[in-house]
């Protein structure tokens, strides 16, 4: 009575699959289902089927469209800066070789810090009046007044300020992944390019980056998804303010659901948000990675 | 003396990196990662260049390390000095009063216990589900396995804010509202896909002959997994456990949505400090330090393994 290998494999996967079905797929199904109803926030309150009305309301609302663009801008800023800084650090560690290993480890420490703590910490550095950054820039003679920039109070720049803790937290991850990718570039390829007289920029753009493409694709997509879901760091720094200038999609959905008590509308927003993320992620994988075109 | 020195020299050099044909032959999956690595390829040669690079590195590390250091320094200032204008970097007077205040506040110690409990339950749950699943996926390359690992990756994209509320109401109807169990289940939805992905990479590196030998010796497939394969990947299991633990320990949004008083974790308490007690920066920084330092130390101790785990999935592509 020996079961087949195929069935044995299925049995091994079943518990995890059931778990994900019950605790991820089913809540998702509830989310999508809720998006077609107008729901009273009171427990057991009325629940009326309204068709696509919530979607119409979502797209018609300025808050939703604004949050969509802000989330996109936030994600692009975070991922671009992280990638540039992470690649820079990875190249630095690679060119310095083994002797920099200890420092490479030290560079990892923010990865262990809770986003909520990171947000708090940077808020403390950037806050008006007793924030250290403004004071230091003032003392260095760069700013005429320590509060001149208003990192977290100026609606024009707050979206970029709230991105700083996120960048600080995960540049290490980028660096680590790109560093590992750099170690896999065959040394003779670099030697050959060097003998051909390739200079540093050519080496970087013609050889290193193309060879790293799969690694870069994975790193960008993983981090892009995380950045698009950012919640903790922004909530603790500005709670989406001032004047909603740092309100990204996660915050808006949270607020619509909890504060404004409109689960139906929040569910519609959540559904659109999830679909958009899936679409962009697949598009990103397909364009950056370009599997099959490399070799 | 000279010979010893040479051996030491060789051992410490790039030679420590791969290029052992025997290892490559037995671990085909490792080949892509290990082939013809030459650390010297990109290393800077000129002394002047290296000096500039070192200075650059030192500067970035100082900048990168400073924020947390400032948090630590602030936590030792007297409460009133934490909001002094202009702020100072070093405390004028060193004190532990913020730590006493923070830990003395009602619910703070309980929240640390809750965080620990939740993280441990979630880690165990995650391993219990991920280890067999990852083994099933990598060892028996079935179509269902491929579908499953893709589905697990897609779950990574689900924003917690989207499933948090339905999940909370499910837990409430199961009578689990505001318990560490409910929160650890929610945290497992985050760590499980990652754990499956990581464990799959570790199983991939185990030579298949190992179980074949075991089954020839009369082991059942489950027995071979338990007695032969699991011990071999124990290092990988440890890495996965650390990641699952960190994911739960640092998580905030589910904790915010799903806990009230009984099962509140420390990240929520830290966030609440802001509204409940006005601007008590001293206590906030002290609690943040207490919460972060153990995991930073733990991970620095185990850094080698963690680095391996973090890069595995991404580099394999």
All structural domains of chain A with their residue ranges: 75-246
Classify residue B39 as exposed, middle or buried by CB count within 10 Å of its CB (0-12, 13-18, 19+): middle
Cβ distance of A121 and B12 shorter than 8 Å: no
- Whether residue A167 is predicted with pLDDT greater than 90 in this model: the reply is yes
Cβ distance of B158 and A24 shorter than 8 Å: yes
- The helix-helix angle for A62-96 and A209-228 (nearest 10°) equals 140
Question: In Å, how far is B152's CA from the nearest CA of chain A?
Answer: 8
Residue carrying the six token digits 């532990």? B96
What is residue A294's predicted lDDT score, i.e. its pLDDT?
Answer: 44
Mean pLDDT taken over chain A:
87
Residue A65, Cβ neighbours under 10 Å: how many?
Answer: 12
**pLDDT tier at A80, thresholds 50, 70, 90:** very high
Residues of B with CB below 8 A from A26's CB? Answer: 166, 170
Task: Mutation target for B interface from A8, A11, A16, A164: give the one with most B CBs within 10 A.
Answer: A16
Cβ distance of B160 and A190 shorter than 8 Å: no
What is residue B18's predicted lDDT score, i.e. its pLDDT?
Answer: 36
What is residue B162's predicted lDDT score, i.e. its pLDDT?
Answer: 86
What is residue A2's predicted lDDT score, i.e. its pLDDT?
Answer: 66
Please report, for residues A78, B122, B224, B232, the alpha-carbon distance to residue B229 in angstroms, rounded to integers and kept in the order given.
41, 23, 6, 5
Cβ distance of A184 and B274 shorter than 8 Å: no
Query: Pick from B71, B142, B296: which is nearest to A109 by CB?
Result: B296
pLDDT top residue among A3 and B236: B236
Task: Give yes or no for a contact between B60 and A92, defined as CB atoms under 8 angstroms apart.
Answer: yes
Task: Mutation target for B interface from A2, A13, A232: give the one with most B CBs within 10 A.
Answer: A13
What is residue B278's predicted lDDT score, i.e. its pLDDT?
Answer: 65
- Whether residue A234 is predicted with pLDDT greater than 90 in this model: the reply is yes
**CATH number corresponding to A75-246:** 1.10.3720.10
% of residues, chain A, pLDDT over 70: 96
A69 touching B (Cβ < 8 Å):
no
Question: Which has the closest alpha carbon to A83: A230, A219, A212?
Answer: A219
- Whether residue A24 is predicted with pLDDT greater than 90 in this model: the reply is yes
**pLDDT tier at A20, thresholds 50, 70, 90:** very high
Contacts of B221 (CB under 8 A, 6+ apart): A5, A8, B211, B215
Question: In Å, how far is A181's CA from the nearest CA of chain B?
Answer: 6
Cβ distance of B270 and A106 shorter than 8 Å: no
Chain A / chain B CB contacts < 8 angstroms:
303
What is residue B76's predicted lDDT score, i.e. its pLDDT?
Answer: 94
- A238: nearest CA in chain B? B274
Per-residue pLDDT in tens (0 to 9) along chain B, 317 residues: 343 433 333 333 333 333 333 333 333 443 444 433 444 567 777 788 888 889 999 999 988 889 999 999 999 999 888 888 788 888 888 999 999 988 988 889 999 999 999 999 999 999 999 999 999 998 888 888 888 888 887 888 888 888 888 898 899 899 998 999 999 999 999 999 989 988 888 888 888 887 777 777 777 888 888 888 888 888 888 888 988 999 999 999 999 999 888 899 999 999 888 766 567 888 899 999 999 998 888 877 777 666 666 666 554 43
What is residue B310's predicted lDDT score, i.e. its pLDDT?
Answer: 62
What is residue B276's predicted lDDT score, i.e. its pLDDT?
Answer: 61
Give ranges for CATH 1.10.3720.10 in chain B: 102-316
**pLDDT tier at A270, thresholds 50, 70, 90:** very high
Cβ distance of A116 and B128 shorter than 8 Å: no
- The top-level CATH class assigned to B102-316 is mainly alpha
Asked whether this complex has an ipTM greater than 0.90, the answer is: no
What is residue B207's predicted lDDT score, i.e. its pLDDT?
Answer: 81
Per-residue pLDDT tens over the stretch A83-130: 999 999 999 998 888 788 788 888 888 888 999 999 999 998 998 888
Query: Pick from A30, A108, A208: which is nearest to B303 by CB?
Result: A108
Query: Pick from A9, A103, A125: which is nearest to B136 by CB?
Result: A9
What phi, psi does A37 have (nearest 5°)?
-120, 150
**pTM of this prediction?**
0.85
What is residue B6's predicted lDDT score, i.e. its pLDDT?
Answer: 37
Separation of alpha carbons B115 and B254, rounded Å: 12
Residue carrying the six token digits 């390359």? B141
Classify residue A168 as exposed, middle or buried by CB count within 10 Å of its CB (0-12, 13-18, 19+): buried
Cβ distance of B252 and A177 shorter than 8 Å: no
Question: In Å, how far is A156's CA from the nearest CA of chain B?
Answer: 24
Cβ distance of A23 and B299 shorter than 8 Å: no
């Amino acid at each position: 009575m020996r079961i087949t290998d195929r069935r044995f494999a299925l049995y091994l996967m079943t518990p995890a699959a059931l778990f994900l079905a019950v605790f991820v797929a089913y809540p998702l199904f509830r989310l999508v289902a809720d998006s077609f109803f107008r729901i009273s926030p009171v427990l057991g309150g009325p629940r009326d089927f309204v068709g696509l009305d919530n979607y119409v309301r979502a797209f018609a609302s300025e808050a939703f469209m604004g949050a969509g663009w802000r989330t996109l801008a936030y994600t692009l800023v975070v991922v671009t800066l992280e990638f540039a800084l992470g690649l820079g650090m990875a190249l630095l560690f690679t060119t310095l070789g083994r002797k920099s290993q200890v420092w490479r480890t030290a560079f990892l420490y923010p990865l262990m810090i809770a986003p909520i703590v990171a947000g708090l910490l940077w808020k403390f550095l950037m806050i008006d009046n007793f924030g250290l950054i403004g004071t230091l820039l003032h003392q260095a003679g760069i700013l005429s007044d320590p509060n001149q920039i208003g990192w977290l109070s100026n609606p024009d720049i707050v979206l970029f300020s709230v991105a700083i803790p996120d960048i600080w937290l995960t540049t290490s991850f980028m660096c680590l992944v790109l560093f590992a990718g750099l170690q896999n570039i065959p040394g003779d390829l670099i030697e050959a390019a060097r003998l051909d007289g390739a200079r540093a920029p050519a080496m970087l753009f013609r050889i290193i980056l193309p060879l790293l493409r799969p690694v870069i694709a994975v790193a960008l997509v993983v981090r892009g998804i995380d950045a698009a879901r950012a919640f903790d760091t922004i909530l603790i720094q500005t709670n989406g303010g001032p004047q909603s200038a740092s309100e990204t999609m996660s915050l808006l959905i949270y607020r619509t659901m909890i504060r404004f008590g409109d689960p139906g509308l929040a569910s519609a927003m959540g559904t659109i948000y999830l679909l958009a993320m899936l679409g962009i992620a697949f598009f990103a994988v397909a364009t950056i990675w370009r599997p099959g075109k490399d070799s | 003396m000279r010979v010893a020195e040479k051996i030491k020299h060789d051992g410490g050099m790039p030679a420590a990196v791969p290029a052992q044909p025997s290892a490559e032959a037995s671990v085909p999956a490792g080949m892509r990662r290990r082939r013809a690595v030459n650390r010297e390829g990109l290393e800077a040669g000129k002394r002047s260049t290296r000096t500039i690079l070192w200075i650059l590195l030192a500067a970035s590390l100082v900048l990168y390390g400073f924020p947390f250091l400032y948090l630590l320094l602030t936590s030792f200032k007297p409460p009133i000095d934490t909001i002094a204008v202009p702020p100072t970097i070093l405390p004028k007077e060193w004190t532990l009063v913020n730590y006493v205040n923070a830990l003395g506040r009602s619910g703070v110690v309980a929240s640390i216990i809750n965080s620990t409990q939740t993280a441990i339950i979630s880690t165990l749950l995650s391993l219990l589900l991920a280890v067999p699943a990852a083994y099933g996926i990598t060892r028996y390359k079935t179509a269902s396995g491929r579908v499953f690992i893709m589905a697990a990756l897609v779950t990574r994209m689900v924003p917690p804010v989207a499933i948090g509320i339905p999940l909370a109401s499910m837990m409430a109807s199961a009578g689990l509202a505001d318990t560490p169990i409910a929160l650890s289940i929610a945290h497992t939805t985050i760590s499980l896909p990652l754990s499956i992905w990581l464990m799959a990479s570790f199983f991939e590196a185990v030579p298949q002959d190992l179980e074949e030998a075991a089954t020839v010796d009369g082991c059942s497939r489950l027995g071979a997994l338990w007695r032969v394969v699991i011990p071999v990947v124990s290092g990988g299991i440890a890495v996965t456990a650390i990641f699952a633990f960190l994911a739960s320990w640092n998580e905030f949004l589910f904790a915010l949505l799903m806990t009230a008083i009984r099962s509140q974790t420390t990240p929520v308490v830290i966030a609440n400090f802001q509204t409940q007690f006005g601007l008590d920066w001293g206590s906030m920084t002290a609690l943040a330090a207490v919460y972060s330092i153990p995991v930073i130390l733990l991970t620095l101790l185990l850094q080698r393994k963690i680095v391996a785990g973090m890069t595995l999935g991404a580099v394999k592509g």
